[in-house]
């Protein structure tokens, strides 16, 4: 349309015809709908694109993938890749969401420069992106994926801060893996999960075994959720003895799951699964409550030790859970020991330190588990009010084969004694190891030599015999 001054402007018009009442003529109405069209186009764009990065959003991504697969010829390769940013959550937690938005925006800019012209780059979640490759071989898609990992591993500079994140990628391709959009996306997600479990900062394609493993994991999750709901988990107790006298001084509470079909499921299988599923809080309450109640049936000098997950510290209700278990059972706080690992102490912020000091103020014992396997165990001993350190069983198992294991054990025992701490050695399986540790000055021992973890009735019977 021409303006009065002769310049041309892109204008949208709408016309409407209406007849006169006496049928002697027609009225032509002309409307300028330019702004309305712009708003409609903007809304249509926003419905299909991410507002922060301008990339295609999840809905657009799914629609585009389905459309490509529906119209692909049999020899055409279409690859769907999921890009998950590593270590992005700590950026948000430490610096705030505005800071994280800057990192996401630059992430999108870096990836845009790497993907082929006919590929679609999408943001499908908070810190998750996707790339849909068309007319690219599997080799080409993998090369681009590796380039993305490389460029995202380079530092981001935001407001004077240097940030490192990185990325892990999983992908699946049609027609090799599936020709269904939903299945292809699920397979890429399984490949991403496998890559993250193996080593972050890598890319991995879908393999047939991943689907079977995922289905097995889903069944196990369903069964574990049912076991928690139905009270099918059990707490067994393993003795910790005085190495000088052989008397039981403490029992460690250990969670057990006897599956009706699978049999005994190892704790190192179902405990991480429970953490991933968000079941640690109810399980933690169950273990603490059971352990404190059971300890009330033992002689007054025998303590009970309970492992505490880093997630229980992170969720912030550990202190109330412990106090509730003690008050409900009537157990004296001095008879309870909480075993924590270095992972708890690596949690950022003041919360873990404050919780540990509050627990200790009640008289509850605090034990540093798996001592010697972390990076900063010595500094933790100096900065936290521990009452006990447990030498990891890996050192005990190598006691007579590896000289350095003996050196570590001797150093830990000396350090513990100088700090006034109880020293417990885990994994003692024979009398030779027991005698060596006793001669070195180790206070307590735990392992199959003294007994396996047993259910409460067996422990009660053992205590009756000892009495």
Instruction: Specify whether 174 is located in the same domain as 256.
Output: no
Q: How confident is the model at residue 2 (pLDDT cuts 50, 70, 90)?
A: very low
Comparing 46-50, 80-84, 370-374, 446-450, the range with the smallest average pLDDT is 370-374
Instruction: Specify whether 23 is located in the same domain as 113.
Output: no
In a domain, 75, yes or no: yes
Instruction: Specify whether 115 is located in the same domain as 13.
Output: no
Tell me, what's the pLDDT at 212?
Answer: 81
Tell me, what's the pLDDT at 196?
Answer: 87
Instruction: Specify whether 80 is located in the same domain as 91.
Output: yes
The total number of structural domains in the chain stands at 3
Task: Supply the range of the domain harboring residue 29.
Answer: 1-48
Domain termination residue (choose one: 13, 30, 48): 48
Average pLDDT (360-388) is 81
Q: What is the pLDDT of residues 290-332, one digit of tens each?
A: 999 999 999 999 999 999 988 888 777 899 999 999 999 999 9
Domain termination residue (choose one: 186, 208, 230): 208
Q: Which residue has the tokens 């937690």?
A: 93
Query: Which residue(s) pair with 174 in the sheet?
Result: 78
Asked if 171 and 195 touch (Cβ cutoff 8 Å), the reply is no
In a domain, 382, yes or no: yes
Instruction: Specify whether 66 is located in the same domain as 158.
Output: yes
In a domain, 378, yes or no: yes
In a domain, 214, yes or no: no
Instruction: Specify whether 202 is located in the same domain as 255.
Output: no
- Residue of 375 and 87 predicted with greater confidence: 87
pLDDT at 144 over 50: yes
- Residue of 209 and 461 predicted with greater confidence: 209
In a domain, 215, yes or no: no
Tell me, what's the pLDDT at 379?
Answer: 72
Instruction: Specify whether 157 is located in the same domain as 109.
Output: yes
Instruction: Specify whether 99 is located in the same domain as 26.
Output: no
In a domain, 434, yes or no: yes
The two tokens of residue 266 are 């190892």
pTM, two decimal places? 0.68
Instruction: Specify whether 69 is located in the same domain as 178.
Output: yes
Average pLDDT taken over every residue of the chain: 86
The CATH number that applies at residue 131 is: 3.30.70.270
With pLDDT > 90 as the criterion, what percentage of the chain qualifies? 56
The CATH number that applies at residue 251 is: 3.20.20.450
Instruction: Specify whether 373 is located in the same domain as 425.
Output: yes
Instruction: Specify whether 244 is located in the same domain as 254.
Output: yes
Q: What is the pLDDT of residues 424-449, one digit of tens each?
A: 999 999 999 999 999 999 999 999 99
Instruction: Specify whether 330 is located in the same domain as 411.
Output: yes
Give helix 181-198 / helix 208-230 axis angle, nearest 10°. 80
């Amino acid at each position: 349309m021409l303006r009065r001054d002769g310049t041309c402007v892109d204008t949208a018009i709408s016309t409407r015809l209406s007849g006169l009442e006496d049928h002697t003529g027609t009225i032509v109405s002309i409307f300028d709908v330019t702004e309305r069209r712009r708003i409609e186009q903007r809304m249509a764009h926003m419905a299909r694109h991410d507002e922060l990065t301008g990339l295609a959003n999840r809905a657009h991504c799914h629609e585009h993938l389905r459309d490509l697969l529906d119209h692909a010829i049999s020899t055409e390769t279409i690859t769907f890749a999921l890009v998950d940013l590593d270590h992005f959550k700590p950026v948000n937690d430490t610096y705030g969401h505005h800071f994280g938005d800057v990192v996401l925006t630059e992430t999108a800019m870096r990836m845009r420069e790497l993907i082929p012209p006919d590929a679609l780059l999408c943001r499908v979640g908070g810190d998750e992106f996707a790339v849909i490759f068309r007319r690219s071989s599997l080799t080409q898609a993998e090369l681009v994926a590796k380039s993305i990992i490389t460029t995202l591993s380079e530092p981001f500079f935001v407001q004077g801060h240097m940030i490192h994140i990185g990325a892990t990628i999983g992908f699946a391709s049609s027609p090799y893996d599936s020709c269904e959009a939903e299945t292809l996306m699920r397979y890429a997600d399984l490949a991403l999960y496998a890559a993250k479990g193996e080593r972050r900062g890598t890319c991995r394609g879908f393999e047939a075994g991943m689907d079977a493993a995922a289905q097995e994991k889903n069944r196990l999750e369903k069964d574990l959720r049912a076991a928690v709901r139905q009270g099918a988990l059990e707490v067994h107790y393993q003795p910790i003895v005085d190495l000088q006298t052989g008397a039981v001084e403490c029992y460690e509470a250990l969670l057990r799951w006897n599956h009706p079909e699978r049999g005994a499921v190892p704790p190192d299988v179902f405990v991480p699964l429970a953490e991933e599923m968000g079941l640690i809080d109810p399980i933690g309450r169950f273990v603490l409550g059971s352990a404190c109640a059971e300890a009330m049936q033992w002689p007054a000098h025998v303590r009970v030790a309970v492992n505490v997950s880093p997630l229980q510290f992170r969720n912030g209700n550990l202190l109330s859970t412990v106090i509730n278990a003690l008050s409900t059972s009537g157990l004296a706080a001095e008879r309870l020991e909480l075993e924590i690992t270095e992972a708890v102490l690596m949690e950022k912020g003041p919360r873990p330190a404050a919780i540990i000091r509050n627990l200790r103020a009640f008289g509850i014992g605090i034990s540093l588990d798996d001592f010697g396997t972390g990076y900063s165990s010595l500094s933790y001993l100096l900065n936290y009010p521990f009452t006990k350190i447990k030498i990891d069983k890996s050192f005990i198992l190598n006691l007579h084969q590896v000289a350095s294991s003996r050196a570590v054990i001797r150093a830990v025992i000396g350090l513990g004694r100088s700090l006034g701490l109880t020293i417990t050695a885990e994994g003692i399986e024979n009398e030779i190891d027991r005698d060596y540790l006793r001669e070195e000055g180790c206070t307590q021992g735990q392992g199959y030599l003294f007994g396996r973890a047993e259910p409460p009735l067996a422990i009660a019977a053992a205590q009756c015999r000892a009495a």
